[in-house]
């Protein structure tokens, strides 16, 4: 069952699946819920959030309605998809949803990044090729020696 959240639409508070959130929805925020979209805080009452999934910091960060910082990750009036509301309550205006969220952009960049072979991986691949070549060479040498001594192809092949 997909997670659900309460959204203010057309003046009514309704419960919808988080996949149906659109830009411009006002979302009811409560303690313990995951933030369902990137949003701007429009109402806050002792609202704190845990951004550790984005920044690695496990500190509770206070969220307020005033815009005081230009850097998005440091702005106290922004909340990001996937972060956890630790305490308080409030309302947020959805500004980005789905793949357009901050977390979605990170996932997109990670998917596009090429993983070049490390020096160790190159050495292991080179070693495997050399060992395989040597194994085939030894098998052929023993096959021809055995065939020359006994004259029986099937026995030596086995």
Residue after which a domain boundary falls, among 96, 112, 128: 112
At 92-114, the pLDDT tens digits run 999 999 888 888 888 887 777 67
The reply to whether 69 and 130 lie within a common domain is: no
| Residue 13, token pair as written in the block | 């508070």
Say what the pTM is.
0.65
Domain housing 135? 119-157
DSSP 8-46: EETTEEEEEEGGG--TT-EEEEETTPBP-SEEEEEEEEE
Average pLDDT, the chain: 87
The reply to whether 104 and 132 lie within a common domain is: no
The reply to whether 87 and 10 lie within a common domain is: yes
pLDDT at 69: 75
By three-state DSSP, how is residue 45 classified? strand
The reply to whether 68 and 85 lie within a common domain is: yes
The reply to whether 31 and 102 lie within a common domain is: yes
The reply to whether 72 and 139 lie within a common domain is: no
pLDDT grade for 1, boundaries at 50, 70 and 90: very low
At 22-77, the pLDDT tens digits run 999 999 999 999 999 999 999 999 999 998 888 888 788 888 888 777 777 778 88
Dihedral pair phi/psi, residue 123, rounded to 5°: -65, -40
Looking at the 3D structure of the chain, how many domains does it have?
A: 2
* CATH number of residue 61's parent domain: 2.70.150.10
């Amino acid at each position: 069952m997909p997670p659900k959240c309460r959204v203010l639409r057309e003046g009514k508070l309704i419960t919808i699946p988080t996949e149906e959130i659109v830009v411009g929805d006002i979302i009811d925020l409560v303690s313990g819920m995951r933030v369902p979209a990137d949003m701007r805080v429009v109402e806050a009452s002792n609202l704190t959030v845990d951004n550790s999934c984005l920044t690695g910091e496990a500190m509770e960060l206070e969220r307020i309605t005033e815009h005081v910082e230009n850097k998005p990750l440091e702005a106290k009036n922004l909340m990001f998809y996937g972060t956890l509301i630790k305490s308080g309550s409030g309302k947020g205006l959805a500004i980005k949803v789905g793949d357009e969220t901050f977390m979605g952009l990170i996932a997109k960049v990670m998917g596009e990044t090429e993983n070049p072979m490390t020096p160790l991986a190159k050495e292991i691949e080179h070693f495997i090729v050399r060992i395989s070549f040597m194994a085939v060479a030894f098998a052929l040498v023993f096959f021809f020696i055995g065939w020359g001594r006994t004259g029986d192809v099937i026995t030596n092949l086995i």
